[in-house]
Amino acid sequence: MISDPRRALANRIYYGWIIACFLASVAVFGTSYAFGVFYDAIEAFGASRSLLALVFGLQTAVLYVAAVGSGRHVERWGQRKMTAVSSLLVTAGIVWTALSRSYLELLFVFGVVAALGMSGLYIVGYATLSA
């Protein structure tokens, strides 16, 4: 009897991680690139459009630079703990962003706190399935 190689692969893969990695990717890129949708509302802080672009630029830079450290933490703690910690950071960062009252607070909260959480989810979302 000839065995189906797809069946052997299906027995080795836990599909829950595929769904978790997909949701992590949606959270990272959905949160990151939704910034432009709220651009007009964020202008209420009185900052120029170029200063608002700095918030997005800082968030993007922190996301990818911190991904190096996030990779090390994934190796040390594992995907589950890193996903949990990163999810909490992103959630806290986004909620705090919604409640921020100044441009500098927005810069720190979205540009650093939320971006650190996004970097962990990014690494888990893209490194877990390939491992």
Q: Which pLDDT score, from 0 to 100, does residue 2 have?
A: 59
Residues 6+ apart with CB under 8 A from 114: 31, 59, 89, 90, 92, 93, 94, 97
Q: Which pLDDT score, from 0 to 100, does residue 10 have?
A: 63
The pTM of the full predicted model, rounded to 2 decimals, is 0.82
Taking alpha carbons only, the member of 112, 116, 109, 125 closest to residue 42 is 109
Q: Assess contact for 87 and 67: CB atoms under 8 A.
A: no
For residue 85, how many other CB atoms are within 10 A of its CB?
17
pLDDT in tens, the chain (131 residues): 556 776 766 677 677 888 888 888 898 999 888 888 888 888 888 888 899 899 999 999 999 999 999 989 988 998 889 999 999 999 999 999 999 999 999 999 999 999 999 999 999 888 776 65
Residue 57 CA to residue 36 CA, distance in Å, equals: 12
